[in-house]
Structure 1
Amino acid sequence: MEYRNLGHSGLMISEVTYGNWLTHGELVDREQAVACVRAALDAGVTTFDTADVYAQGAAEELLGAALEGVRRSSLVIASKVCLPTGDGPNDRGLSRKHIMESCEASLRRLRTDYLDLYQAHRFDGTTPLEETLIAFDDLVRQGKVLYLGVSEWTAPQIASALTVIRELGLRSRIVSNQPQYNMLWRVIEPEVVPLCLREGIGQLAFQPLAQGVLTGKYLPGREAPDGSRGKAGGRAPTFIGRVLGRPLLERVQDLIPLAGECGMSAAQLAIAWVLRQPGVSSVVAGATRPEQVTENAAASGRTLDDAVLKRVDEVLGDLVDRDHGKTAQMMAVKPSWTSTTP
């Protein structure tokens, strides 16, 4: 495993971050989840990403239990706040009340005294940015949070936050953005990436495998394989359904020989591709089995030359989505390459 600075901060994170979005508390049982975390640690992964809303807190609880006994200073634990965690009017958003209460709840579930990285899970247009950023700054001053980040914010939203931070003279800075980013979904490239590069904000790219589609395990015209997210319960089939379609699945199959030429699996090629992109500090990848964790981690340190990048673009062609207007709309907007025919 290799390590990189998170943006222009001094915080070193593993090139592959272990994420537990649709796995812990939903897709796998406790024993399997702990085995995946242990496999990540064995592979040199130091960075773990979660959120208060994942499985309504169960994901944080499971991650906290799985990491118990590991030297805390050797870990980088990241969580998020904003999305609904209850039915009350203050159980969502980026108000001071919700941020403070959610942070305390996350610390309790994760069994830790502080979060290395606390991220605004989405932008909250109903709360003044000043209120949000002062609350985050106070958490840093209290020692409960070390670094601040955002997730799926547009370039104008990030720019506005940076302006407020400077105008208020806050000491805490935004060091990371966590967007969906992979070979197919490149909507952050036109606006978000250039801004973040100028401002020293690193990308923590999630869904580098496009919900597993870029592994090549979903075959055109066939049912999703047993044990995959496409066959799982809970919310997983809803999300994976957004990225399935015969034209896409056929193109992905054409990437497998290219991965073989590079001495990699298709999954490793997809992760290495993201790590090759400007401004990326780490990829956030989940897993349902320990062997997947090991395979993903092995993509760290792999290099891709320009000829390989060009061939990826040639294979995927017009299926690549670069529409910057879809930033932060991942939950609501289907990619342009989605079809209704599996």
Structure 2
Amino acid sequence: MERRHLGRTGLRVSRLGLGTLTWGRDTGEHDAADMLKVYLDAGGNLVDTADVYSDGGAEYLLSRLLDGMVAREELVIATKAGSVPDPYRRFDASRGHLLSALDASLERLGTDYVDLWQVHAFDPSTPTEETLQALDIAVASGRVRYVGVSNFSGWQLAKAATWQLAGASRTTVASTQMEYSLLQRGIEREVLPAALDLGVGVLPSSPLGRGVLTAKYRYATPPDSRGASELLSAFVEPYLDEGSRRIVDAVATAADGLAVSALHVALAWVRDRPGVVAPIVGARNALQLEEALSVEALTLPEEIRSALDDVSAPLHRYPDQDWSTL
């Protein structure tokens, strides 16, 4: 699998990452082991997790599977901290919480460092400088190699990345993980331009539009899908509207013309967008993951990319519109 630099750093990651959101909850040890083996055999090296995935269960499961399967130095482990299961405060990016969360993640992962440590979300209750200082401490202590953020808006990302670039001893923000797909192009308004300008690599989450871009919801909701799940149906439902259906129809038409799956078309589109380093792909089992990984050989023809751009184009007005042409 082709590898790309993560932002303006020397870290090289495979251009598809493996997500572990459901590991330890919906995905058991057997299926997780099969997926990890398939991913590694395909040349993948980036595994993304978080301290709150399955209340730490995803990190713990990952640590159990790695033993004997791959050398630690051959894998890029990315995890996150900052989300809290508290009804009164969803995020805590204070220095104390982040550093304690990092120690707990390292213990569950069974390693003395993580390759990429990400702030899971912006915390308006904590000064940004304090949050960023925790990242510097983590790197200086050797517990973290590179740092990133997740779910930051454009101005939040620009503030964080610029602050880090302003100090010689500060750690560069390498990446930002954001939802990005043909059904969700909101980051193109401000986040993506900021990332491109500041040299921050983009790691798209939900690159298949929460599964909708596979076209499996085109005519009905499969009984074994997230859309039929009591826990996750609300996660899928926003992408089942009429506007989304038009985009999915266009993806399916392109797939038919190329003799590939809708999944391949949607994934290739986001993988090759400017600024994107590695979409994070989640799967229920090894067969699903194998299909996603087989997109490696596909490059979309320019006319198909352009058509998909047009049909999925978000409405951007002031101040994004070029008013000099009006």
TM-score (norm: length of structure 2): 0.90
Q: Does 1:232 align with 2:232?
A: no
1:71 is aligned with what amino acid? Answer: A
Matched ranges for 1:162-181 at <5 A = 162-181=161-180
For 1:147, the equivalent position in structure 2 comes to 146
Larger deviation: 285-294 or 55-64? Answer: 55-64
Distance in 2 (CA, whole Å) between partners of 1:155 and 1:324 is 16
Where do 1:25-174 residues align within 5 Å?
25-69=24-68, 70-85=70-85, 92-174=91-173
Alpha-carbon RMSD: 2.2
Deviation at 1:29, TM superposition (A): 2.1
Residues 222-261 of structure 1 mapped to structure 2, 5 A cutoff: 222=220, 224-234=221-231, 236-246=232-242, 248-249=244-245, 251-261=247-257
Distance change >3 Å, CA 322–CA 52, structure 1 → 2: farther
The residue aligned with 1:20 is 20
CA distance in 1, matches of 2:152, 2:112: 27
Q: What is the aligned partner in structure 1 of residue 192 from structure 2? A: 193
Aligned to 2:187, what secondary structure does the other structure show?
coil
Q: Which amino acid aligns with 2:16?
A: V
- For residue 5 of structure 2, what is the aligned residue in structure 1? 5
Partner of 1:266: 262
Q: Which of 263, 282, 293 lines up with 1:286 in the alignment?
A: 282
Residues 36-90 of structure 1, C-alpha deviation per residue, up to 9 Å, x if partnerless?
222211221110001111111111111222222210111000000111146797x
After TM superposition, the structure 1 = structure 2 runs for residues 310-329 of structure 1, keeping only pairs within 5 Å, are 310-314=306-310, 316-317=311-312, 320-321=313-314
Please say if residues 91 and 122 of structure 2, whose CA atoms lie closer than 8 Å, have aligned partners that are also in contact: no
Alpha-carbon distance in 2 for matches of 1:108, 1:233: 32
The count of aligned residue pairs is 317
1:288 deviation in Å? 0.3
3-state SS of paired residue (1:205): strand
Q: Is the 8 A contact 1:191 1:324 kept in 2?
A: no
1:239-265 CA distance string (max 9 Å, x none): 112222355335413422311323421
Q: 1:51, 1:81 within 8 Å by CA — same for their partners in 2?
A: yes
TM-score of the pair, normalised by structure 1: 0.86
Write the deviation string for residues 107-133 of structure 1: whole angstroms up to 9, x where unpaired. Answer: 111111111000011111111112111
Using the alignment, how far apart are the partners of 1:179 and 1:58 within structure 2? Answer: 22
Alignment check: 8 A CA contact 2:177 2:202 kept: yes
In the alignment, structure 2 segments of 5+ residues that lack a partner are 319-326
1:88–1:194 Cα change, 3 Å:
closer
CA separation of 1:283/1:322 partners in 2, compared to 1, >3 Å: closer, same or farther?
farther
Q: Secondary structure at the match of 1:297?
A: helix
**Distance (Å, rounded) in 2 between the aligned partners of 1:112 and 1:159:** 31
Return the offset for 1:232.
Answer: 3.2
Per mean C-alpha deviation after superposition, the further-off stretch among 26-35 and 145-154 is 26-35
Closer, same or farther in 2 for the Cα pair 1:61/1:212, shift >3 Å?
A: same
Do the aligned residues in 2 keep the contact of 1:96 with 1:131 (CA within 8 Å)? yes
- Matched to 1:72, the amino acid is R
- With CA pairs under 8 Å and 6+ residues apart, which has the higher RCO, 1 or 2? 1
Conservation of the 8 A alpha-carbon contact between 2:93 and 2:119: yes
Q: Secondary structure at the match of 1:300?
A: helix
Q: Deviations over 1:216-253 (max 9, x none)?
A: 11123x2x21321122353x222112222355335413
